[in-house]
Structure 1
Amino acid sequence: MESHDWTLEHIPAADREPYLRRGRGLAFVIGPMRGGTTLLRKIIDAHPRLTSPAETWFLLPLLGMWSGRGEAGAYPPKQAAAAIQSHLTQQRFIEACRAFAGSFFASTLPEQSAVFVDKTPPYMDLADTLPVLFPDARFLVLCRDPRGTLWSRVSWKHTQPEPMAKTIEGVARHIQIQASFAKKWADRSMLVGYERLCAEPADEAARVCEFLGVERHDAMVEYGGVEHHEGYGDENSRRHTRPHADSLRRWEGKLPETAQAELARRCTPEALATLGHDDLIAAIQRAA
């Protein structure tokens, strides 16, 4: 489907829900926690024909009803899943999820917007489910140097203390998810460079616009001049009005080379190369 035919540009607001059920005019950011997803979503949200609100989260409990995974204080999830499965086939359940999601996205998409971009980092664990659930959706794989993501998680004021090795394991797992997704769903996704978004925001934002089927809008890099829906997400973005390069290499001099090498090893050279992190591969070679 051509980009200009994929948006909801000429579809009245009252008629959009069936299209959103299958993912037309719907995009997802595939990016990890502390990976720059809030910056990307605010830049996108500053475009007059794009909407990217705060994290939605609803797909986690919705899809979890079938698997029985997760936590619920009032009932045992696995028992609830068994009850649902006694009434619906998996295909009918998927159709019900599409109906709910289509209603959710349609009811929160402003009439003047042509595309809804969902930025919810926990959806990383649903990465391979999303393209099946929404066969017409598109995906922005946000690639940040994993050393930056690691340092951001370690130094974040809300982080619960844990061994460095465990944090490294979590960052590496997300890198592997992203790399696998980028290969498997290459025809429906594009790689967005976090570092390019900070250093060359207008050009990187223009690439995103082209992929989403809307015109370039350089003013979107001044995202602070637009009112955004606020909720879950990085509160640091509220202190700035545009992208900046100050956060790009904060890990330098703070992350030991041994930690960098272990991170690179766990990410694997193949996954790093897929996502364009060739310089981190050198850390493995130096430590060898």
Structure 2
Amino acid sequence: MIKRSMGEKAYGLCNGAILVLLALVTLYPFLYVVFASVSDPVKLLGNTNMLLWPAGFTLNAYKKVFSNAAIYTGYMNTIFYVVAGTSINIVATCMAAYVLSRKQLKLRRFFTLLFIFTMYFNGGLIPNYLLIKDLGMINSRLALIIPGAVSTFNLMIMITGFEGIPQALEESARIDGANDWVILFKIIMPLAKPTIMVIMLYYAVGHWNSWFNAMIYIRDADKMPLQMFLRDILTRSQLGAMAGQMEVEDVGQTIKYATIIVSTVPILCVYPFIQKHFVKGVMVGAVKE
């Protein structure tokens, strides 16, 4: 046992107090949304203090959200976009990162600069729409998956992760007769698993929260993602409130908070399964000098 000095104890207490305070500041907005979503609208509007527990209790906001049968169609569509889109994103990003991380590639710097160029300049909304139209992807599910198959920002992170893998592993694999496909999928990607999981999370969250592209490119309601249905519910509620056509319990702020919970909680459940990969170092001891 190492005896700590008074200064170390004081530092530990101050550090712990600051971390607890930061945790409360970070957690309270989420708790506020949860409490507000199940609060009585009249009491919630009359509340002027911090909301530390529900102001009354009612599930009318959630009933309003789930009373629309289309919400379930939105869930299934969003799950499809997240699974299919993220799979394509990871495969395409890993393949591009593998090529651009090979130092022996000719014009490597040139191709990398081409990707980086797209981070700062793009054609704009109308040229993008015309491109999607010419590709025949208007009102197609592919319009929400293919155009954003590779994020340049995520690609740069993946390249950095691949470059951190010792070259000796690739050289030994080539001596054993492995080609680039084997090296990528059986050596590089398993060793870069923490990086891949982080990028996978970024892509999945992006697909889950996406609604703007669907509003532009999708026409059929049966192809719309969840966020579009929730946006329509919220818009109709606000328009009804402005027109005075809805009851007080339905025009309350609770409908807004309920839509936030409905659209946020499912993707939050993914974090605990990926968090361990954020700090896991799988390269420790991989190469012996």
* TM-score in terms of structure 1 length: 0.25
Specify which structure has the higher proportion of helix. 2
Structure number with bigger Rg: 2
Specify which structure has the higher proportion of strand. Answer: 1
TM-score (norm 2): 0.24
